[in-house]
Structure 1
Amino acid sequence: MKAVIFDLDGTLIDSMSMWKNLGKTFLEEKNLIMTDEVSQTMTTMSLTMSSKYLKEHYNLKDSSEAIYNYFKKVILEFYINQALPKEHSLETLQAYNDLGYDVVLGTATNYGFVEPLLERFDLMDSFKFVQTVDSVKTSKDNSKYFKIISNKLEISPNEIFLFDDARFALSAAKNIGIKTVAVYDKYSDDHWKDIKVENDYAIKTFKDWSAK
């Protein structure tokens, strides 16, 4: 193996509760209900995509820019002041860097939000590059997203590990031959039994994994 892709939210960082409640809280303020279908659809999207999607789906008077700015304020406050790493995640990240792997951050989160979080945890030099869905105009449920990373690295997919908590992202990566490591998050609990079967490896925490 030559390279590792780490997801951010729900994998390296314990932040899925913030993301899951983001759209829900916004809609509740307008006396609207977020359905499971809407929540799942937004999971695959960037914030820009989600803002536009909510406006269109609920026929909101707010502009997509206004919705985006509402989300932006909540996310930045959380990333800068509250977000914490998942157990042993940053140690595993450092171990792969020490071993000489090409390490990539592959996230659905806009880089404008990612950067202050990386700065906060002194991770700016921990990745060969950061790929967001906005930067490649492709969501993480599309195998193309991971193929782009493979092409940038000039490394065959079967020589790349992916650590991710999202079932759709793991499936998209596995479809092109990437070795998938499912990382447990409480928000994937309902599907964890199936996720373990579908992927090459599955871990409850990074303490269960030895970088080598």
Structure 2
Amino acid sequence: MIKAVIFDVDGLLLDSEPIWSLADRELLKRRGIDYHDELKTKIVGKGQVESAQNVKDYYRLPDPIDDLVRERRKLLNDLLKANLWLMPGAKELIDLLVKNNFRLAIASSQSKEIIDLTIKSFALEGKFSVIVYGDEVEHGKPGPDIFILAAERLATRPEEALVLEDSQNGAIAAKKAGMKVIVVPNQYNRGQEFTHAALVVERLADITPDVIEKL
């Protein structure tokens, strides 16, 4: 029986995936390099360090990885502050799950600054019992670390936790953590086969307590 629901942020709660692309375009523009759309499919769903490493490797950038991570994070944060939008149906789903006594958590590689700003901007204070940030674990997705830590803090067994994700890497991480996962694909990975998911839906509004009960 599912007692807790763990939310990803980028592309699941926040409509932030296009902002990542804008941040990377600016990062590369500063170096006189053109952005390739192919890059997005390689980094979607990965943590900030892993995705920065992908950018570095793909374009053979000489920058130290720590410098790239900091620069990308600042670019992203600045862009998100001006373009902070919840995904359609996110607020309604959160309210519905709280009303039906599910415990909620956030587990995301997104920065603490943006997660806290999201909670404040959309009146989500008190909705999430637990928040786990990416820098609290050693391995990012597709490693299971972030979901395992979220379940521990929720005092919930893995089999009693459901993860909501938008990416293949997130689905793999949830499966490795021993949890069921519902995937809501984004525009960059729609059409992929999410073999690790218990269910794939088109939109957040398709997720209801009845749907969760039948997993």
Output the TM-score relative to the length of structure 1. 0.83
Q: Which residue of 2 aligns with 1:81?
A: 82
**Pick from 34, 37, 44: which aligns with 2:46?**
44
CA contact (8 A) 2:23 2:79 kept: no
CA deviation profile, 1:2-48 (whole Å, cap 9, x unmatched) = 100011111111111111332233113312355646862474122x5
Q: Residues 168-200 of structure 1: CA distance to partner in whole angstroms, max 9, x if unpaired? A: 111221233311100121111241xx12x5411
- Residue in structure 2 matched with residue 109 of structure 1 by the alignment: 110
- The residue type equivalent to 2:47 in the other structure is M
Q: How does 1:60-209 map to 2 (within 5 A)?
A: 60=61, 67-68=68-69, 70-191=71-192, 194-195=193-194, 197-209=195-207
Instruction: Identify, as 1 or 2, the structure richer in helix.
Output: 1
Stretch moving more, 50-59 or 168-177: 50-59
Distance apart, 1:69 and its partner CA: 5.0
Superposition RMSD in Å: 2.7
**In structure 1, what is the Cα distance between the partners aligned to 2:69 and 2:117?**
18
Task: Describe how 1:23-34 pairs up with structure 2 within 5 A.
Answer: 23-33=24-34
Whichever residue aligns with residue 180 of structure 2, its letter is K
Deviations for 1:120-162, whole angstroms, at most 9, x for unmatched residues?
Answer: 1122322111112111232021023322222222222111111
Instruction: Give the unaligned 5+ runs of structure 2.
Output: 211-215
The aligned amino acid for 1:138 is H
- SS at structure 2 position matched to 1:44: coil
Q: Residues 42 and 62 (structure 1 numbering): CA distance in 2 closer, same or farther, change over 3 Å?
A: farther
Bigger Cα displacement from structure 2, 120-129 vs 34-43: 34-43
1:173 counterpart letter in structure 2: A
* Number of residue equivalences: 208
* CA shift in 2, pair 1:58/1:87, >3 Å: closer
Could you tell me whether the CA contact under 8 Å between 1:92 and 1:211 is conserved in 2?
no
CA contact (8 A) 1:111 1:132 kept: yes
Query: Counterparts of 2:175 and 2:64 in 1: how far apart (Å)?
Result: 37
Q: Write the letter of the residue equivalent to 1:16.
A: E
Partner of 2:22: 21
Instruction: Answer whether contact 2:5 2:105 (CA < 8 A) is retained.
Output: yes
Question: Cα gap change, 1:125/1:79 in structure 2, threshold over 3 Å: closer, same or farther?
Answer: farther
**AA aligned opposite 1:79:** L
% of aligned pairs identical?
Answer: 19
